[in-house]
Structure 1
Amino acid sequence: MQEPAAPQASHTRPGPLQRGRTRFATALLVAAIVAVALNQRPAVVAVAPILRDLRADTGLSSALAGLLTTLPVLCFGAFAPVAPRLARRIGLETAVGLSLGLLAAGIALRLLPPVALLFAGSLVAGAAIALANVLLPAYVKREFRRPGAVMGLYSASLNIGAAAGAALTIPLAGALGVDWRWALGTWLLLALAALALWLPVAGTGRDRRTNAPLAEGEGSWSLLRQPLARQVTAYIGLQSVQFYSVAAWLPTLLADAGVPVSEGGLLLGLANVVGAVGALVAPAQAGRMRTQRPLILAVAVAYLVGLGGLLADPAGATLVWVAAFGLAQGGGFALALTLIVLRSPTPLVAARLGGVAQCLGYLLAALGPLVLGALHDGTRGWSWPLAVLLVALVPMTWAGWGAARATVLDVVPADGVTAAAPEGARTPAASADRAGPAGR
């Protein structure tokens, strides 16, 4: 096994959130993580507000326009398993920087006239975000003794980025006097700014790179032999189904119930804003708890209130139902990401588990809007689609209940080769991380 690097001198004693670095360096690193997280949704959700102008200019059919919005989510699943192997070869830090570079390239491709490049850019951007989705939680796992608070900031930033992409794309275009292409292109500046902040702050991870082949049984998919990995995967997949299904159809559902069309998009934005609160709180609490089962139940209750209200009286206390759903989806997704971190004994295992869980989870989530749309067309209403989502809360909560127990995945010792070198960190065999959340 590779010897761990010797701890370097620090001007301050390492606190619960840092591993051997000054407070200022820790603050810069957290800022860089937040900057990366803010970039992981705008390039995707910014397409919806400009879709009408896009179709009028390009002549895309409804089916192809729908594919344009679904393609990045499919990429989230398809490219997630690539992230752990990339991290092994070039280091977590460099891999995250590469994902930002790819994201910038994808956004830039969409500025060019051919329609084919619009799809190619969306594919590249989706692949880039898929890598960051997996790599950032693993990086947080490695760099912070108690990752809950940082995971909360990371998850909340995902929601804020999504809300910004949905709410600001059109106003920015209007203020700048640009067309729909440049409206999408405005988010290129955010990606470049994050890259400029990330590279000097995060380091290169050169001492943690390895080209050694994985030992027998160390592949990411082999983790699914363990019930705990299957439960984490099922939880992230089923809660993603809830979010993407409702996010796709909420404005239409409310319009059919008599809510003004102009309010549908605002209410969806409200769900994302409230979701940021849930995303900030849930991981911070999860990191302090031996078992996260109370949080699993709290998320399920919030979903029950939100979906149940939309089923029983969508035009009544609409703000309450939408806010409850937003709190559930924000807290649920953040909790799912945090479970990946807490149930993994090392950062590499977190990347492997994240790759598998997000691959299957996002592929499942991409089917949600299609299934709900088919149910709506078949039943001429929203009662059956919402009822199906309510029933799906049962297996989601069951999977979360198992994933939230106080244990970690059992992995072969060779997995610690990549994880044994952070500044001031302990080896996995000696680390208290094996016993529970982040240093307990």
Structure 2
Amino acid sequence: MGLQSVSYYTTVTWVPTILLDAGMDVTAAGGMIAYSAFPAALAALLAPTLAARLGPTWLPPVVAVLLLGAAYLGLIIAPASGAVAWMTVLGLGLGASISLSLTYIVWRSPTTHLTGQLSTVSQGFVYLVAGFGPLGIGALHAASDSWAVPLIALCVVLVGQLVAGIVASRPVFIRARGAEGIEAA
């Protein structure tokens, strides 16, 4: 949850500037990040249904991370000329990532009470931490005077997101400390 939030916050903060620095005009750069919301919405709606029907369980988070990685690499190689493609792929990856994160909270909780607790912890703390993602990426850009280094750093964050997504996709319940008598599905 937290690592996908780092990707999201950093992306919506810096991608328009990346496109501006690549020669795109301000209206087009803003339009590209706005456009990415459409494939994101589609992926957010479809990802939980596909995750429920697909096997193996690790496949949906892997696909989401690969989409994000492809978008970041595309923004390094050809940011302006491939912007529509990168924003489509980026939107798909971001939308799938957030909806899978939220879905796994529900699927991995054996009771509604534990769902609320898990949701509170995972969303409360991680959003606070994720807010520092754009600051860190901005600092990397300032230090390197390049967008390649910050985008590579986001690809490194994706490794953690991949591991967390695979672990979260396992069909097991998270148990509260001291909980007895709750059987895994």
Q: TM-score range by the shorter chain?
A: over 0.9
Tell whether the 8 Å contact from 2:51 to 2:57 is kept in structure 1 after alignment. Answer: yes
Question: Deviation of residue 360 (structure 1)?
Answer: 2.2
Rounded Cα–Cα distance in structure 2 between residues aligned with 1:318 and 1:377: 23
Verify the 8 A CA contact 2:110 2:182 in the aligned structure 1.
no
Structure 2 SS opposite 1:287 = helix
Letter in 2 for 1:292: T
Residue 169 of structure 2 corresponds to residue 394 of structure 1: no
Give the structure 1 partner of residue 84 of structure 2: 319
Among residues 117, 120, 143, which one is paired with 1:378 in the alignment? Answer: 143
In 2: Cα distance, 1:390 partner to 1:263 partner: 25
Partner of 1:366: 131
Greater relative CO (CA pairs within 8 A, separation 6+): 2
Whether the aligned pair in 2 keeps the contact of 1:344 and 1:408 (CA below 8 Å) is: yes
Q: CA deviation at 1:290?
A: 6.6
Alignment CA distance shift 1:291-1:350 (3 Å): farther
2:36 to 248, 268, 271: 271
Is residue 67 of structure 2 the alignment partner of residue 302 of structure 1? Answer: yes
SS of 1:345's partner is coil
Q: Could you tell me how far apart the structure 1 residues matched to 2:156 and 2:182 are?
A: 41
Q: Which runs of 5+ in 2 are unaligned?
A: none
Please tell me the residue identity of whatever aligns with 2:135: L
* 1:343 pairs with 2:118: no
Pairwise CA RMSD = 1.7
Q: Is 1:280 matched up with 2:10?
A: no
Match of 2:5 in 1: 240
1:403 correspondence with 2:168: yes
Aligned with 2:45: secondary structure? helix
CA contact 2:71–2:87 (8 Å) conserved in 1: yes
What is the alpha-carbon distance in structure 1 between the residues aligned to residue 142 and residue 92 of structure 2?
Answer: 28
The letter for the 2-side match of 1:325 is L
Runs of 4+ with deviation above 6 angstroms: none
Once residues 312 and 365 of structure 1 are traced to their aligned partners in structure 2, the CA distance between those partners, rounded to angstroms, is 26
Kindly provide the CA deviation profile for residues 73-110 of structure 1, in whole angstroms up to 9, marking residues without a partner as x.
xxxxxxxxxxxxxxxxxxxxxxxxxxxxxxxxxxxxxx
Quote the Cα distance in structure 2 between the aligned partners of 1:413 and 1:300.
33
Question: Counterpart of 1:266 in structure 2: which amino acid?
Answer: G
What residue number does 1:149 align with? none
Check conservation: 1:290, 1:406, Cα contact below 8 A: no
Superposition deviation, residue 289 in structure 1: 4.7
Deviation at 1:286, TM superposition (A): 2.2
Write the distance in 2 (CA, Å) between the matches of 1:289 and 1:345.
Answer: 21
Alignment-mate amino acid for residue 283 of structure 1: P
Deviations 1:105-160 (A, max 9, x none): xxxxxxxxxxxxxxxxxxxxxxxxxxxxxxxxxxxxxxxxxxxxxxxxxxxxxxxx
Which residue type is aligned with residue 313 of structure 1?
Answer: A
TM-score by length of 2: 0.93
| Residues in 1 aligned to 2:55 and 2:115: alpha-carbon distance in whole angstroms | 18
Structure exhibiting the larger radius of gyration computed from Cα positions = 1
Distance 2:113 2:54 in 1: 23
